[in-house]
Structure 1
Amino acid sequence: MKLKNTLGVVIGSLLASSSLSVLAQGQGAVEVEAFGKRSFTESNRDVTNGNLFGAGVGYYLTDDVSLNLSHGVYESIEADLLPGGSNEKDIDGTLSTVEALYHFGTPGAQSLRPYVSAGVGHQELDNTRTRGQDKTTFAMVGAGAKYYFTEMFFAKAGVDVMHSLDTENTEWQAGVGVGLNFGGSTQQVAQVEAAPEPMPEPMPVEEPAEVVRVELDVKFDFDKAQVKEESYGDIKSLADFMNQYPQTNTTVEGHSDSVGTDAYNQGLSEKRAEAVREVLVNQYGVEGQRVNSAGYGETRPVADNATDSGRAINRRVEAQVEAETN
């Protein structure tokens, strides 16, 4: 039979090509497929529903649009030779189509690409009761999806609605198929082996600068601005750091608790800041222009002034210095 010969050629091509790795999708690609469909006819045509088996070929005008040709042979379709279906006979028939398909999604392996289609088809049925030979031209629209297991091999399922331009009948078909996609711009680009680029000259790697930081917190007795002996060690550590990094500067900030008037506490905080500055400059040798002092009175508490312990924490001088090291 013609059908068996056609399917044999298509299936043989699929098997022979399945081991090729150069197949690809894209503009300029060619697809071949084998399909089977169930055809549902209008009752007034005096023919039964049947199966359509065939093959097709498509050419991709772009990555998404293809032009497809197909030819199929009807099987298991019968015609009523007498009214009422009292005498039935197997008939021969073919359907040839030309369709344009628009694919959604991205080409590639393991990708699902839904599509819509539109085109025309020509059907010929022999030995029908109504005409002897029944020839019909269809306008066709359809939708479906293809799943690409690899760049080349895909399975397909879809539905086509066919409207006869001769008899105004509307019929439809549902089917599945398998196929191969090969050629195309994607494959051509993949086959061009890019020349290796010259290795760039290694650039010297700069180690990121590390930031080092020293903080000072000197506590004072109530209503006093004298630096306590126990605080000299911390002040010396700050001075040593500044002498090690001569680009650094600092501001020592004096604070008080809330006991007393605002004006009195402001003056007391300034005296405390100046006392620490004098130790840094006069005793430990930090240049005077690198050390500033400022008083903030009771405006910046860090603890609760309602308690003795909180007020003791607030009677303080703070300073901080940071520098970058390589």
Structure 2
Amino acid sequence: MKLKNTLGLAIGTLIAATSFGALAQGQGAVEGQLFYKKQFNDSVKHIEDGYNPGASIGYFITDDVSVNLNYDTTNHTRSNDGTGNQKIKGDTGSVTAQYHFGQAGVDSLRPYVEGGFGHQSRTNVQADGHSGRDQSTLAIAGAGVKYYFTNNLFARAGVESDYNLDNGKWDYSALVGLGVNFGGNAGAAAPAPTPAPAPEPVPEPEAPVAQVVRVELDVKFDFDKAVVKPNSYGDVKNLADFMAQYPATNVEVAGHTDSVGPDAYNQKLSQRRADAVKQVLVKDGVAPSRITAVGYGESRPVADNATEAGRAINRRVEASVEATAK
């Protein structure tokens, strides 16, 4: 495959992804990326270091693990040591798996580690009366970090080590990249909520009597996550329906965490949880101006953080709305 075709496909993927109205994270997401490597060539003699542009596309098989297809091409690389300063051409294709730490979100850092295998093909240096191609099988290991400008647009910086299984030597590279991801379970349709049971008939009073009605919301989250789980969509929809029935009501959506981790990190995590519930309410028809999302970090526990069961209860978003029904 020619590099211009590969880069064209990757650029098209980036543009198409940014046109979606609601991008997502997590299991099932697709990630497209363009990158640029500084390649340190040590495993083959008579080749200088070079710069390798490339592209990759990946699929998240879980919220944290992605499988990636990668392609880059040798560029600005020449032979040395008296072999005529010839231009070296070639390319590398690989399959790698990446494990990500933390949660993607605006202004967040998400470190990763990776490993996999690849195949490299390069023109040989024309010397000693022969020419040909150097074919190598590579074992790949690396690490780096992704910085998210938005929930889905990110920049990447990392390092990779390539072990040449044919000659037992190492090459190294440093790279930067830009990518997007879209799809995944965060964009899955919410299941239809269970209809609320019809209220039992009440004898009509002689005169109208004002009655206070109230609805409460308690959404639980997985450890170090800020994604609303599908089994909570019905509860959020009930709150949205209540606010549609009483259009004068407003609500505060309060995010909380357990006590694991630094206070500053937990404050940001609780705010992301509150924002995630607000987004589902807006999707269900509630005007954003009627919702205030506030993160309280770990400052308001309702259970004992010394136990796993207590910490699971504290990882929550709460909301309460009441109105007067006549």
Instruction: After superposition, give the CA deviation of every residue in 1:266-289 in whole Å (9 maximum; x if it has no partner).
Output: xxxxxxxxxxxxxxxxxxxxxxxx
Residue 102 of structure 1: aligned partner: 99
Within 1, Cα distance between the matches of 2:10 and 2:44? 35
CA drift at 1:52: 1.0
Q: Matched residue of 2:14: which SS? A: helix
Q: 1:27 to 1:43 in 2, by over 3 A?
A: closer
Q: Is residue 54–residue 72 contact of structure 1 (8 Å, CA) maintained in 2?
A: yes
CA drift at 1:87: 0.8
Instruction: After superposition, give the CA deviation of every residue in 1:41-62 in whole Å (9 maximum; x if it has no partner).
Output: 1175211111111111111111
Q: 1:193 to 1:172 in 2, by over 3 A?
A: farther
Q: 1:21 to 1:194 in 2, by over 3 A?
A: farther
Q: Is residue 61–residue 67 contact of structure 1 (8 Å, CA) maintained in 2?
A: yes
Q: 1:202 aligns with which of 201, 207, 212?
A: 212
Alignment partner of 1:28 is 2:28: yes
Q: 1:111 aligns with which of 108, 111, 114?
A: 108
Within 1, Cα distance between the matches of 2:25 and 2:186? 6
Let me know the Cα RMSD of the aligned residues: 2.7
Instruction: Report the AA paired with residue 8 of structure 1.
Output: G
Q: Which runs of 5+ in 1 are unaligned?
A: 205-326
Residue 243 of structure 1: aligned partner: none
Normalising by structure 2, what TM-score? 0.56
CA drift at 1:24: 0.7
Q: Matched residue of 1:78: which SS? A: coil
Normalising by structure 1, what TM-score? 0.56
CA drift at 1:20: 2.0
Residue 79 of structure 2: aligned partner: 79
CA drift at 1:16: 3.6
Q: Is residue 37–residue 51 contact of structure 1 (8 Å, CA) maintained in 2?
A: yes
Instruction: Report the AA paired with residue 98 of structure 1.
Output: V
Within 2, Cα distance between the matches of 1:198 and 1:39? 66
Q: Matched residue of 1:26: which SS? A: coil
Instruction: Report the AA paired with residue 97 of structure 1.
Output: S
Within 1, Cα distance between the matches of 2:123 and 2:186? 45
Q: Matched residue of 2:15: which SS? A: helix
Q: 1:188 to 1:166 in 2, by over 3 A?
A: same
Q: 1:122 aligns with which of 119, 124, 143?
A: 119
Residue 90 of structure 2: aligned partner: 93
Residue 272 of structure 1: aligned partner: none
Instruction: After superposition, give the CA deviation of every residue in 1:194-234 in whole Å (9 maximum; x if it has no partner).
Output: 68979996269xxxxxxxxxxxxxxxxxxxxxxxxxxxxxx
Q: Which runs of 5+ in 2 are unaligned?
A: 200-210, 215-326
CA drift at 1:162: 0.9
Instruction: Report the AA paired with residue 95 of structure 2.
Output: V
CA drift at 1:152: 2.0
CA drift at 1:141: 0.7
Within 2, Cα distance between the matches of 1:197 and 1:113? 41
**Higher Rg:** 1
Residue 47 of structure 2: aligned partner: 47
> How many matched pairs?
200
Residue 168 of structure 1: aligned partner: 168
Instruction: Report the AA paired with residue 118 of structure 1.
Output: G
Q: Is residue 122–residue 135 contact of structure 1 (8 Å, CA) maintained in 2?
A: yes
Q: Matched residue of 1:42: which SS? A: coil
CA drift at 1:97: 0.9
Aligned-residue identity in percent = 44
Residue 65 of structure 1: aligned partner: 65
Instruction: Report the AA paired with residue 79 of structure 1.
Output: S
CA drift at 1:21: 2.5
Instruction: After superposition, give the CA deviation of every residue in 1:26-70 in whole Å (9 maximum; x if it has no partner).
Output: 011111111111100117521111111111111111101111111
